[in-house]
Amino acid sequence: MALYPLPIARWAVAAVVVVFFVVLPLVLHEYYLSIINLVSIAVIGALGLNILVGYTGQISVGHGAFMSVGAYTAANLAVRMGAPWPVNLLAGGLMAALIGAIVGIPSLRIKGLYLAIATLAGQLIIEWTINHVTFISGGVQASIEVPRPEVFGLRVASQRQMYFFLLVFVVLAVVGTMNLVRSRIGRAFVAIRDQDIAAEIIGINIFRYKLLAFAISSFYAGVTGVLYTYYLGVANYEQFQINVSIDYLAMIIIGGLGSVLGSIFGAAFVTLLPILIRWTMEAFGGYLFSDAAILNIIPNMRLILFGALIILFLIVEPEGLNRLWRNVRSYFRVWPFAY
Amino acid sequence: MFDWQFFALLMSNGVLIGLMYALIALGFVLVYKATDAINFAQGEFVMIAGFVVVAFLFTYKTSLWIAVAVGLLAMIAFGFGLERAVLRKLIGRPIIAVVMATIGLAAILRGVGPLTWGADTKNLALPISDEPIILGPLFIPPIQILGAAVSLAFLGIFGWFFLKSRKGIAMRAVADNQQVAMAMGINVERYFALAWAMTGIVSALGGVIWGSLLGVDVHLSLVGFKVFPVVILGGLDSIPGAIVGGLIVGIVENVAAGYIDPYVGGGTKDFAPYVLMIAALMVRPYGIFGKRIIERV
């Protein structure tokens, strides 16, 4: 499978790179860049979860907890040892990969519903451990402040600097995932998803590849946790609770299971949705509701739209936004002929 | 020196709370037994039922019996509607689709509850006294006895329903093999809807009892997290399993909280059942009474 199926794809990719590396940071205000930064972080996490759920067909309701493992590993290293950010990032990812693989061990015996429940248990147990073991959580309200990362002696402090910092990792994650899924490993994942018994017969070691899928996916999650910690400047377990795991599952379902582009669409959509709701309510809500009512409406509206979108996509378009995008693209590719 | 009085108190509390967990777990088991669907929104069902009952009690000033009756009817209608609108369309899709649909449903309900009826905690007072009954070393709040009694009664009723009644037997046939059931002239879809409506009944009762114990707000849905350890321990498709699993979880969490909480500063109640559940998943994933069919990989 070639990376560029059509010649025009090269130009499209070049244009996207120029837009994201040159045009956007030049024209956008810091506030909008901070929103894009949130999307960037979500994209990395969604790609990781999609490797596990979309490509390998395993389910995890514990990705929020894997992120917190990465976040606290990095925060502890940064504060106690004064380690530089690349070490923290790698250590956070690897620690999350280790914990993820351990939580994934039940996937060797059980699947589907049981695996969902086992990873849910993983989420709750990790959350509890971080919250109650002061060695990890650092005591007061289980949050640890981390210093800003320094790149070549330059502190990444403003949102604009953070934008470039995160964008590098988004590119690494996107290219890495694209290459992973067309390698031997990625094909083994897809084989396990489609028919695990057949995969075993053609010589795929299911034991190894399932754990590998959990480890790679959790590595992405750990890196997401570390980056989010650097973005916020503080590691806090409340940022990684069960609702985060569900947010990420929603991203890949709305975006499209088993698709790199879908993960990006989904991450952007789910991150922007609450912001759009807030803007809309702040702009027009005043005409209809009191201020107190708006404060109640915004978070609840987000939950309702969220759940409704998950169900809607599951029923109407199981392949998600990615499929809608492909439909639009193929419509224009053969235009003006319908077939 | 082992404090027997303290231990007995923890045990009695665990047994009663455990039976109340069993009631909620029953809702999960009913749906799984008949339709093979996993309801991740069980706690939210309970919460929304609590909200409906409270709304009728306070906003429309009806008597408690009418409020509970309305809650029951609303949840039955909700169960039917849900099956019709969402779950029927997901038949034959991979298991993750149903799991995600119920997770989405949970999010909707958690939003709808506080949006419609306000985010503050509402007090659902039942006409029974708050004075604990003192039996030797034991202090037992009457609400827990009522909860345990309702729970046992409904477990008994549904047990009888599945073993003896015509509809119950048909439902077991549907659970066992949908195609054969269809060939025997059983309207499979109708029994799916019936299963969801029965879950609605159980959730409405759970909403009244848990709501009066904890107060009705969005946190009432957290009770749903206790369902998974209960059903995994007892067996996903077993009604006696729901009782036994409920008792185990109730006792373990109370005893663990009583002895471990002082050292770790709380939270053992939510933690211990899941550790136990992981152990059970490793050793006996189909549970104590569950059917032994589990897809091995």
According to DSSP, residue A106 is labeled G
CA angle B142, B143, B144 (to 5 degrees): 90
How far A104 CA lies from chain B's nearest CA (Å)? 12
Higher pLDDT, B291 or B109: B109
Q: Which of A50, A300, A309 to mutate to test the interface with B (most CBs of B within 10 A)?
A: A300
Chain A residue with CA closest to B271: the answer is A125
Pick the more confident residue, B59 or B201: B201
Tokens representing residue A25 in the block: 């940071």
Assess A324–B contact: CB distance below 8 Å, yes or no: no
pLDDT (0 to 100) of residue B260: 81
Whether A125 and chain B come into contact, CB under 8 Å, resolves to yes
pLDDT, residue B142, reads 83
B104 close to A (CB below 8 A): yes
pLDDT tops 60 at residue B294: no
Q: How distant is the Cα of B134 from the closest Cα of chain A, in angstroms? A: 34
CB pairs under 8 A between A and B: 132
Q: For residue B140, what are the β-bridge partners?
A: B133
* Average pLDDT of span B105-122: 87
Phi-psi region of B16 (alpha: psi -120 to 50; beta: other; left: phi over 0): alpha
Say if B270 is an interface residue toward chain A (CB within 8 Å).
yes
CB nearest to A306's CB, from B97, B107, B297: B107
- C-alpha–C-alpha distance, residues A248 and A50, integer Å: 9
Please judge whether B86 and A315 are an interchain contact, meaning their C-beta atoms are less than 8 angstroms apart. yes
Which A residues in the span 68-107 are in contact with B, Cβ-Cβ below 8 Å? 106-107
The pLDDT, as a whole number, for residue A292 is 72
Looking at the DSSP assignment, which residues form a beta bridge with residue B85? none
Nearest CA in chain B to A319: B97
Average pLDDT of chain B, as a whole number: 85
Asked whether the predicted pLDDT for residue B224 surpasses 50, the reply is yes
CA angle A242, A243, A249 (to 5 degrees): 95
Q: How many CA atoms lie within 13 A of B69 on its CB side?
A: 5
In chain A, residues 132-171 whose CB comes closer than 8 Å to chain B: 132
* Amino acid present at A281: M
A110/B274 touch (CB, cutoff 8 Å), yes or no: no
Q: Which residues of B touch A107 (CB under 8 A)?
A: 297
As for how many domains chain B has, the answer is 1
Alpha carbon distance A213, A235 (integer Å): 26
- Does the CB of A116 have a partner CB in chain B at under 8 Å? yes
Residue with tokens 């659902």, as numbered in its chain:
B124
Q: Using the beta-carbon criterion (under 8 Å), do A311 and B101 form an inter-chain contact?
A: yes
Give the residue from chain B lying closest to A117, CA to CA: B228
Residue B176 structure tokens: 């066992």
Chain B interface includes A296 (CB < 8 A): yes
In a domain, B249, yes or no: no
Q: What is the pTM of this model?
A: 0.88
Q: Is the pLDDT of residue B157 over 80?
A: yes
Low-confidence stretches of chain A (pLDDT beneath 70):
1-5, 111, 139-141, 338-339
- Closest residue in A to B232 (Cα–Cα): A114
B228 vs A contacts (CB less than 8 Å): 117, 120-121
* Residue A5, helix vs strand vs coil: coil
Query: Which residues of chain A lie closer than 8 angstroms to B296, CB-CB?
Result: 109
Residue of A53, A110, A301 with shortest CB distance to B281: A110
Query: Residue B198 sits in which domain range?
Result: 10-117+138-221
Q: Average pLDDT, whole number, for chain A? A: 86
ipTM: 0.84
Give B-chain residues touching A309 at CB under 8 angstroms. Answer: 104
In one letter, which amino acid is B74? A
Q: Which of B89, B100, B281 sits opposite A118 (nearest CB)?
A: B281
User: Strands A154-155 and A150-151, how do they pair?
Assistant: antiparallel
**In this structure, CATH architecture of domain A7-333:** Orthogonal Bundle (1.10)
Tokens of A195: 């028919």
Cis omega before residue A336 (within 30°)? Answer: yes
Tokens matching residue A68: 């917190």
pLDDT for residue B113: 87
Contacting residues of A for B111, CB less than 8 Å apart: 299-304, 306-307
When scoring B40, B82, B83, B103 by the number of chain A Cβ atoms within 10 A, the one with the most, hence best to mutate, is B103
Please state which of the ranges A292-301, B12-21, B77-86, B103-112 shows the lowest mean pLDDT: A292-301
- A47 contacts: CB under 8 Å, gap ≥ 6: A173, A174, A177, A220, A260, A263, A264
Q: Is residue B250 part of a domain?
A: no
In B20-79, the residues whose Cβ lies within 8 Å of chain A are 38, 40
Average pLDDT (B181-199) is 89
| Contact yes or no for A296 and B118 at CB 8 A | yes
A315 lies within 8 A of chain B by CB: yes
Report CA B42 to chain centroid distance, whole Å.
Answer: 6
Measured between CB atoms, which of B270, B275, B281 is closest to A106? B281
* DSSP states of chain B: ---HHHHHHHHHHHHHHHHHHHHHHHHHHHHHHHH----TTHHHHHHHHHHHHHHHHHTS---HHHHHHHHHHHHHHHHHHHHHHTGGGGTTS-HHHHHHHHHHHHHHHHHHHHHHH-SS-B----SS--SPEEETTEEE-HHHHHHHHHHHHHHHHHHHHHHHSHHHHHHHHHHH-HHHHHHTT--HHHHHHHHHHHHHHHHHHHHHHHHHHH-BSGGGGGGGGGHHHHHHHH-TT-HHHHHHHHHHHHHHHHHHHHHHHHHHTS-HHHHHHHHHHHHHHHH-TTTTTS-S-----
Q: Domain map of chain A by residue range?
A: 7-333
According to the model, what pLDDT value does residue A265 have? 93
Work out the average pLDDT over B249-276: 83
Question: What residue in B sits closest to A252 (Cα-Cα)?
Answer: B100
Residue in B89, B93, B278 closest to A121 by CB: B278
Residue B105's closest CA among B181, B37, B207? B37
Task: For residue A236, give the 3-state DSSP assignment.
Answer: strand
Higher pLDDT, A330 or B104: B104
B137 in contact with chain A, both atoms CB, cutoff 8 A: no
Minimum CA–CA partner of A197 in chain B: B297
In a domain, B102, yes or no: yes
Q: Is B261 on the interface with A (CB under 8 A)?
A: no
Give the pLDDT confidence score for residue A140 in this predicted structure: 60
Checking if the pLDDT of B258 tops 80, the result is: yes
Alpha-carbon gap: A308 to the closest alpha carbon of chain B (Å): 7
Contact B281 A308 (CB under 8 A): no
Whole-number pLDDT of residue B297: 44
Find out whether A279 and A223 touch, Cβ atoms under 8 Å: no
Instruction: Name the nearest CA neighbour of A236 among A71, A91, A88.
Output: A71
E strands, chain A, in order:
143-145, 150-151, 154-155, 234-236
Q: Given a cut of 50, is residue B160 above it in pLDDT?
A: yes
Which residues are paired to A234 by β-bridges?
A: A145
